Amino acid sequence: MVIRNGLMASFTYRAHMVFQILGSVVGIVVLWFLWSAIYAAAGTTTVRGMSFGQTFLYVGLATALFVMMRTWIEWDMNAQIRTGDIVVHFFRPYSYTGWSLASSLGFVAGNLITITVPSLVTIFLIFHAPLPPWINVVLFIPALVQAYLLSFLIDFAVGVTAFHTESIWGVSASKESVVLFLSGGLVPLAFFPDPMRSVLLVLPFASMFNTPIALLAGGITDLGQIAGRLALQTFWVVVFWLAVRWYYRASVKRLTVAGG
């Protein structure tokens, strides 16, 4: 119900929706030209073992995922916490975290329709990117769900900082750039120097973008390796969930004891 309402709410702004669809398609086209130019300048057909086609598929998918998972939930929380409207949720028999997750999912559903699907259509149909093996497509789904959960938990934690700061702009902007860069959301992790890459692969950020994308772009096909990456994702989801729950409770406790 909350998910459905979130989706309906995002459809309220019709012009915004149309521009989102257009914007995502234009974004993919820009990426194509950007990376064509980079490959032309490099003068080789493969850079660090990745052909132009693979790289384009990778960054295209990264963009599609990034915009899909971006639900601005932290900004909703920021507004609610600053105005005090968050108390309305305290008068209802549910947990605020659960509510946020549901409304964020509503926006993801909206993003899926207005951004992700047009992007994927553009990537696979217009630019004829190679399709991955079917087993990868199947395993992409749990990888995507876990990646989304991680993304949500990080956003929620950023939102909770609004209890302590005047504006979450700084925290949110830093989070966005750190996550995008270290997760391989901006540049494929394959392009990083080897020692750095092996560290990044273990960090939670890789679980957000690199893992689901590598599955769909056909970067990893070994089943054991895939299972390992999925387990690592699960591990990070659990760790973040516990940490965020503790952080949220401590922040609310501070509010109820000290007053707001």
Partner 1 sequence: MTSNTVQDSIIVLEDLKKHFKVLNRSEGLAGAFRDLFSRNFRTVKAVDGVSLSIRPGEIVGFLGPNGAGKSTTIKMMTGVLEPTSGSLLVNGKIPTKQRQEYVRNIGVVFGQRTQLWWELPVIESFKLMKEIFRIPQAEYEANLALFDKLVNLSALYGQQVRNLSLGQRMLCDIAASFLHNPAIIFLDEPTIGLDVAIKAQIRTIIRTLNRERGTTILLTTHDIGDVEALCQRIILIDHGKTIYDGAIGQFTKMFGSWRTVKLLAQEGKKDELDAALSTIGERFAGTRPETLEGEVGWSAVAVDQDQTPATDVLAWALSSLPVQDVKLEEIRTETVIAQVYAGALK
Query: How far apart are the two ends of the chain, measured CA to CA in Å?
Result: 30
Looking at the Cβ atoms of 74 and 76, the one nearer to partner 1 is 76
Provide, rounded to whole angstroms, the least separation between the CB of residue 166 and partner 1. Answer: 14
Provide, rounded to whole angstroms, the least separation between the CB of residue 251 and partner 1. Answer: 14
Looking at the Cβ atoms of 13 and 246, the one nearer to partner 1 is 13
Residue 192 sits at φ, ψ, to 5 deg, of -75, 155
- 146, 151, 138, 148: which is closest to 215 by C-alpha? 138
Looking at the Cβ atoms of 38 and 250, the one nearer to partner 1 is 250
Looking at the Cβ atoms of 224 and 259, the one nearer to partner 1 is 259
Provide, rounded to whole angstroms, the least separation between the CB of residue 156 and partner 1. Answer: 19
Provide, rounded to whole angstroms, the least separation between the CB of residue 10 and partner 1. Answer: 8
Tell me if 97 sits within 8 A of 156, measured CB to CB. yes
Side-chain-side CA neighbours of 34 within 13 Å: the count stands at 13
Burial zone of 115 (CB within 10 Å; 0-12 exposed, 13-18 middle, 19+ buried) = buried
Looking at the Cβ atoms of 40 and 88, the one nearer to partner 1 is 88
Beta-ladder partners of 46: 51
Tell me if 132 sits within 8 A of 61, measured CB to CB. no
Provide, rounded to whole angstroms, the least separation between the CB of residue 12 and partner 1. Answer: 4
Provide, rounded to whole angstroms, the least separation between the CB of residue 8 and partner 1. Answer: 6
Looking at the Cβ atoms of 8 and 145, the one nearer to partner 1 is 8
Looking at the Cβ atoms of 11 and 246, the one nearer to partner 1 is 11
Provide, rounded to whole angstroms, the least separation between the CB of residue 2 and partner 1. Answer: 7
Binding site for partner 1 (CB under 8 A): 1-2, 5, 8-9, 12-13, 83-85, 87-88, 90-95, 256-259
